[in-house]
Structure 1
């Protein structure tokens, strides 16, 4: 997925913190609305990155979308666009999305099946909801590649995890290890990712790797995490050193969340538009190479837009007049001094 804002704003969001008396501290991060592509521009809800917390492990981007009536929103239609230094991670709850990339990978993204696209030194791709899709609903995630992997080969990995039955719910572990299940998807830093489902009126306990920081993005349900209410499209953050999270579903229907986590990522990261680099000069070079149709990104075949007059390739926005600087991330602990002002 691309971030298609022509002038991406720097938005400051204030998380709120809460804790159970004997539980993990959690920090609640709210989302901002972002239009995604096309004249009708479906809306996505972005919790990462933001000014207070840019990364959770190597996870650097989290968009939630839907459930959207495609007849009203137009669905997903993101023309060919570039990436560097990252992996895209596509996870659907409803609908279907076609994927084409310049590594000559062509796939249909289906609910419950994860698709990892590794950009390496450079890739371009397109994403379009299928004609059969009436409701589109899912999350799009990115991970930043460490220095030893970010100049590597393009690749594409697909995995359909088995549904695990747990005390209080179910899980689909799509990357890393959780609940005794390990995904075969290769990663370049230690990561975990899973869809969690919590039965009505139940509490699901998740044993955590204390060396990881974690985020829980709520898709649906009347949920609290360690006593902190987490509304749909909000993300509950727990820092390193925590060993357990208790997720309670207070509602009459099954709740659904997405868990992400990993070892804190300590390398400098400059993230602008669809590029991840290490300094302003790198990002400027990537932009120039994309605009000049450089071989770095290759050529994507197979993109068919919903709009006969639409662009077949997204142009890069204009760079800001000031130099881009590496993102700073706070210490990997929930911060009790931060509060949301909801007035």
Structure 2
């Protein structure tokens, strides 16, 4: 999904000064954002006080929305650079098209992983005939210097690996957890896991002490190390943990995100990740000029998304937290 903000702020990300040196329990508020004319999402990353968790740089949670009498998701062709998009559906169906020629229907429990690299364009739509509810998450992963200019790619994985334990069904989107490994290609050490908890579940999850982690609730509610976690917030766990306890009084879904702290300083604006403000300005100008850096999305009936106005102040790469 695109960042459809018409006045997107510039995000200055990276560096280690904002990474917790040990375990913490920082409850971070999400922000409701209107995308386009009708779609509302909960923006959980970047948020006040936290811009990155590992290389995870952007998290929007949307739904569940009743779209039986509406077109549902309608995101026109738009560009990306320097990042990967990780699309995760809990309910509904999304039709993905991109400038590589990919034309794919994405369903719940499947991983859609798009690597923008040097540059790509894509669109996302609910099909004309679609399920009643739409519910999911759109996540971005910042690419490191060695991979940020790589050739674009798209992969669609079904039948993801996972494990079950004491009322938990875990599905690994990216990286590895509990002996299960995702087929998705990651360019930095990271992990993303969907946690489906039955009512009354009480589990401990194994963690890597060198990673930083965060948890967010997709549905229901849970307690993480005795901290209540409701929809619309994210709990940052810091580093140095070998396990985390999660309990759910009701059936709930959570997302666990983590990774090695991202040392590089980057600039994120609109749908671009770069290293300098000048790069970001160049990407926006190339998109407006229909430069072939991003290619063309074939099969989409409608206009592509126009780039919003650039901020009036220079974009600079700084730290991980505000």
> Normalising TM by the smaller chain, what interval?
over 0.9
Distance 2:69 2:62 in 1: 14
TM-score when normalising by structure 2: 0.92
**Structure number with higher strand proportion:** 2
Please say if 1:187 is aligned against 2:186: yes
Tell me the secondary structure at the aligned position of residue 282 of structure 2.
helix
**1:104 Cα deviation from its structure 2 partner:** 1.3
Match of 2:144 in 1: 146
Distance 1:90 1:296 in 2: 23
Match of 1:211 in 2: 210
Taking CA–CA contacts closer than 8 Å with sequence separation of 6 or more, which of the two structures ends up with the larger relative contact order? 2
Please say if 1:126 is aligned against 2:126: no
**1:50 Cα deviation from its structure 2 partner:** 2.4
Match of 2:56 in 1: 59
Match of 2:16 in 1: none
TM-score when normalising by structure 1: 0.87
Match of 2:167 in 1: 168
Tell me the secondary structure at the aligned position of residue 156 of structure 2.
strand
Please say if 1:75 is aligned against 2:72: yes
Runs of 4+ that moved beyond 6 A: none
Equivalence map 1:236-315=2 (5 Å): 236-251=235-250, 254-304=251-301, 311-315=302-306
C-alpha contact (below 8 Å) 2:56/2:142 kept by paired residues: yes
Quick check: 43-52 or 2-11, which moved more? 2-11
Please say if 1:233 is aligned against 2:232: yes
C-alpha contact (below 8 Å) 2:83/2:143 kept by paired residues: yes
Is the alpha carbon distance of 1:86 and 1:10 closer, same or farther for their aligned partners in structure 2, counting shifts above 3 Å? Answer: closer
Distance 2:9 2:122 in 1: 24
Is the alpha carbon distance of 1:188 and 1:163 closer, same or farther for their aligned partners in structure 2, counting shifts above 3 Å? Answer: closer
C-alpha contact (below 8 Å) 1:42/1:73 kept by paired residues: no
Match of 1:8 in 2: 8
C-alpha contact (below 8 Å) 1:88/1:118 kept by paired residues: yes
Quick check: 1-10 or 214-223, which moved more? 1-10
Distance 2:188 2:9 in 1: 29
Please say if 1:28 is aligned against 2:27: yes
C-alpha contact (below 8 Å) 2:171/2:194 kept by paired residues: yes
Match of 2:314 in 1: 323
C-alpha contact (below 8 Å) 1:82/1:122 kept by paired residues: yes
Tell me the secondary structure at the aligned position of residue 194 of structure 1.
strand
Stretches of structure 1 lacking an aligned partner (at least 5 in a row):
12-22, 305-310, 332-343
Distance 1:80 1:44 in 2: 19
Stretches of structure 2 lacking an aligned partner (at least 5 in a row):
12-21
Distance 1:327 1:242 in 2: 27
Distance 1:302 1:69 in 2: 26
Distance 2:142 2:161 in 1: 26
Distance 2:312 2:10 in 1: 14
Match of 2:18 in 1: none
